[in-house]
């Protein structure tokens, strides 16, 4: 093979790789991005080991829509307002880099407070109905005995939440959501670092929204086996969660 052909092959392959990379970045930034769930803060809705697709265009675009959050603008373009009950991926206000996923409960101007273990939104108790069975769910390396409730938000959105059977959070101060900010909670209410913790998460700015979780496309129980231990894959793979809508 002569020198010209080698140079042409290198050029052609490089061009193909760059084109594929640009397409991948555009899809990831503008349409859908995969995320891995590493913690139990959203159980029972999302389990450790779930892989999800997040819609990037649903709330419009900010600098956090792109890899490494380039500091080129402090505006959101094609902005669309999130809805109460959405499963939102966002950059934590503490460092503007770490991705969290929580459920949006409070909109700008809302007040929220836990009183005697019940969640109050704008001084009205959020409706919740206890399911029949108590459940054991994770909290890091520990197991919690919890009660499951079907929580109904004012806009009619229903979802499962878990509260510790013993030692559940009872009372908090009243939170007032600032303008252009949101208040988000984990569904695993006693094992979630979320907007209740003002020093680490707190109120989430509209610019920090990355997207809305839409689909679980893969899930395996990492307590049983990692993907590298393929010989245990049939035991760890959660078939019932494959392509499950959120």
Do residues 104 and 90 lie in contact, with contact meaning Cβ atoms separated by under 8 Å? no
Do residues 46 and 4 lie in contact, with contact meaning Cβ atoms separated by under 8 Å? no
From the candidates 102, 164, 195, 236, which is the catalytic residue?
102
Tokens encoding 88: 């939102």
Give the separation between CA 159 and CA 147, rounded to whole angstroms: 14
Do residues 112 and 106 lie in contact, with contact meaning Cβ atoms separated by under 8 Å? yes
Give the separation between CA 93 and CA 211, rounded to whole angstroms: 15
From the candidates 41, 62, 65, 236, which is the catalytic residue?
41
Q: Is 69 labeled as catalytic in the residue annotation?
A: no
Give the separation between CA 62 and CA 209, rounded to whole angstroms: 8
Report the SS3 class of residue 221: coil
Cis peptide before 135 (omega within 30 of 0): no
Residue 62: CB atoms within 10 A of its CB come to 21
Question: 245 — phi, psi (to 5°)?
Answer: -70, 150
Q: Is 168 labeled as catalytic in the residue annotation?
A: no
Among all residues, which ones are annotated catalytic?
41, 102
């Amino acid at each position: 093979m002569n020198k010209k052909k080698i140079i042409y092959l290198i050029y052609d392959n490089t061009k193909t790789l760059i084109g594929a990379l640009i397409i991948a970045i555009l899809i990831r930034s503008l349409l859908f991005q995969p995320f891995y769930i590493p913690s139990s803060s959203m159980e029972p809705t999302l389990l450790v080991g779930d892989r999800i697709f997040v819609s990037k265009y649903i709330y419009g675009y900010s600098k956090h829509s792109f890899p490494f959050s380039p500091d080129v603008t402090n505006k959101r373009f094609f902005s669309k307002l999130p809805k109460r009950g959405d499963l939102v991926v966002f950059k934590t206000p503490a460092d503007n880099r770490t991705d969290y996923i929580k459920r949006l409960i409070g909109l700008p101007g809302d007040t929220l407070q836990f009183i005697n273990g019940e969640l109050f939104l704008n001084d009205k108790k959020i409706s919740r109905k206890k399911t029949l069975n108590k459940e054991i769910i994770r909290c890091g390396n520990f197991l919690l005995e919890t009660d499951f409730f079907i929580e109904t938000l004012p806009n009619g959105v229903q979802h499962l939440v878990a509260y510790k059977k013993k030692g559940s959070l009872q009372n908090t101060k009243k939170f007032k959501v600032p303008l252009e900010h949101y208040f988000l909670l984990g569904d695993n209410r006693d094992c979630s670092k979320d907007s209740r913790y003002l020093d680490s998460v707190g109120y989430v700015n509209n610019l920090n929204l990355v997207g809305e979780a839409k689909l679980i496309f893969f899930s395996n129980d990492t307590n049983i086996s990692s993907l590298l231990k393929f010989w245990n894959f049939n035991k760890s793979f959660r078939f019932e969660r494959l392509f499950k809508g959120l």
